[in-house]
A and B are shown apart, each in its own frame.
Chain A
Amino acid sequence: MEKLISKYFVTGKTFGMDEYLADGGYEAARKAFEGFDPKGLIEEVKKSNLRGLGGAGFPAGMKWSFIPQNTGKPVYLVVNADEGEPGTFKDKYILNHVPHLLIEGMIIAAYANQVHKAYVYIRGEYVGPHRTLVRAVEEAYAKGFLGKDIFGKGYALDIVVHRGAGAYICGEETGLLESLEGKKGFPRLKPPFPAVVGLFNCPTVINNVETLSYLRFILERGADWFSKLGSEKNGGMRLFSVSGHVKKPGVYELPLGIPLKDIIYDHADGIRDDRKLKAVVPGGLSAAILTPDEIEVGMDFDQLRAKKTMAGSAGVIVMDETTCMLKALLVTMRFYAHESCGQCSPCREGTSWVYRILKRISKGRGRSQDIKNLLDICSFMGGTTICALADGAAMPLRSYPEKFKEEFEHHIQNGKCDSPDCPIAEDLVTA
């Protein structure tokens, strides 16, 4: 299968400016200026059915069309390189191996939205990727691809690379904007949406690293070609981060809509030690888990939503038969209890309450009403909060006890784990 972004993922190698140019780099950005006016470019991206690949899957071209151009204020472009959704590690590969692909995409997106200043918000722990990106930005300035007069077209664009400082919530787009303005990463109430009131109260386009990195290919080979690579309304390919109990964890670039089963068994080479599959997280930790009889599902935003889960960030976490579902959920909910920013009480109280219940069950002190209580908490947590973190916690939380009811009941009744070989410690060291 043809690779687009991932053909550059050569172990130990970064494509610097010269090599990137030798491979046709920056031609697409030039073409954007020469072949399109901004409106036409937005139409082209709409036609490509490029979806937002950071998690929400919002059509990229449509998001751009919401940007008001008549406010008298500058428009900003903000790149989300916070990559915090557990199970996701693909943006790191782009930043490490081919940062110019992102910069080229930023130039295209900037022109389409008439942006002259762009920020990349990169997670603070990504020390190597940050260094690589900063070097690439310097190279692009030196070539005149950034700065006052890019490609000699009389268009100005500056890029500032900005590091986060360790907070999952800063991946949420309005938490990110707050953080970028120098505050705590508390998400903002929406509406107004960032497209209208974003960074420094100005209209702002926010896109994920990977979303922008596909723009070069859309410009090179056309929106129709890109759209047809994927499934209905889900254009192109995306980078699946596959981890957990598979033989070959890694990043796999595959068309949207590919069956989950193919990803696990053909690309990641199946389950370690040829054990049986037990459950899969299909789209980052915040997605509902799927069971082995559900893995024929096509991996795009719409088909996964129909299965009451989500495509999210395409972080696929595979669990084999040795896994205790209660402990897997406990580890999952520990994450949300730790990362909730605390602004909304259903989220703040709900996540830590759930975590306490699960911890108690894992210590052998479960009660018969616990499962019902967990599901009740789920219902008040989701949909009532400022940001989607709470929904992202509620979704897995509901799916585990629903899909593995007997195992949960058994755990509660017996006061101990049914899975003697479970890799997660009996007495969670860090619980």
Chain B
Amino acid sequence: MIETVFKPEIKKQAEAIMARYETKRASILEILRLVQESCGYVSTEAEEAVAELLEIPAIDVHEVVTFYTLFYRKPKCKTRLNVCRTLTCALAGGDRILDHLEKKHGLRPGEAREDGSVSLQTVECLGACEIAPMMQLNDSEYIGPLTPEKIDQVLERK
């Protein structure tokens, strides 16, 4: 099973990552990222493979995966909006952005379109309050200050 998750090329990368740390276990967040990048998300099968690789119980891997917010446990949508809801973004009208997402685009926080095209989540301060209200697109690009128009543009970009 470990071979289906850690194909030879990925296994090689994993070993290079593990070599940087004092213990195998210490590399887990970076290893899970590697798995997520190559498989799209962290399945139960992937958790077991990581456990085997790091020589720790599968339950420990599961606990780590569920403790942190950046791991997907299901296939992720093509477009992912993480809209900040913390104080500065709220003061800058972040709720109006969420309102617009719901009214115009039918997207509610914590939900995804059935066709798997778009998902919306609210998140806590992303360290970009100078561009509030803001969001992170597809777990990488920071976009702000957000306006309803900018949201429309992003959703039309595809």
Contacts and interface: CB of A to CB of B under 8 A. Distances in A.
Interface of A: 83-89, 91-92, 123-128, 160, 162-168, 179-185, 200, 241-245, 249-251, 281, 285, 315, 317, 319, 323, 327-328, 331-332, 334-335, 338-339, 423-425, 428-430
Contacts of B86: 86, 285, 331, 335
A164 B127 contact: no
Q: Which of B20, B71, B124, B140 has most A Cβ within 10 Å?
A: B124
B49 interface: no
Nearest to A117: B22
Given A184-B63, A251-B130, A424-B90, A338 B124 contact: yes
Interface residues of B, number: 49
Given A87-B87, A163-B29, A428-B95, 13 more contacts: A86-B87, A88-B125, A125-B70, A164-B29, A165-B70, A183-B64, A184-B63, A184-B64, A184-B67, A200-B23, A285-B86, A425-B95, A430-B85
A127 B140 contact: yes
Contacts of B90: 327-328, 331, 423-424
B37 to A, nearest CB: 12
B10 interface: no
Nearest to A424: B90
A428 B95 CA distance: 7
A123 B98 CA distance: 25
A352 B93 CA distance: 24
B95 A181 contact: no
**8 closest cross-chain pairs (CB), A and B:** A425-B95, A166-B69, A165-B68, A86-B125, A243-B129, A182-B25, A166-B70, A182-B28
A339 B69 CA distance: 11
Given A160-B20, A243-B88, A165 B130 contact: no
Contact of B30 (A126, A163, A338, A424): A163
Interface string B15-32: 000001111011111101
B91 A244 contact: yes
A165 B95 contact: no
A203 to B, nearest CB: 14
Interface of B: 20-23, 25-30, 32-33, 54, 56, 60, 63-64, 67-71, 85-88, 90-93, 95-96, 98-99, 102, 109, 122, 124-130, 132, 136, 139-140, 142
Given A86-B129, A241-B130, A182 B23 contact: yes
A424 B26 contact: no
Contact of B128 (A92, A163, A328): A92
A331 B85 contact: yes
Q: Which of B23, B67, B87, B93 has most A Cβ within 10 Å?
A: B87
Contacts of A424: 90-91, 95
Contacts of A168: 124
B141 to A, nearest CB: 8
Given A160-B20, A163-B29, A430-B109, A425 B99 contact: yes
Nearest to B68: A165
B121 to A, nearest CB: 10
Nearest to A334: B85
A83 B22 CA distance: 25
A33 B90 CA distance: 48
A302 B23 CA distance: 41
Q: Which of B29, B54, B71, B109 has most A Cβ within 10 Å?
A: B29
Contacts of B136: 125
B87 A285 contact: yes
B91 A319 contact: yes
Nearest to B128: A89
Q: Which of B20, B54, B95, B127 has most A Cβ within 10 Å?
A: B127
A89 B99 CA distance: 26
A323 B91 contact: yes
Contacts of B125: 84-88, 285, 335
Nearest to A74: B22
Given A249-B129, A430-B109, A180 B63 contact: no
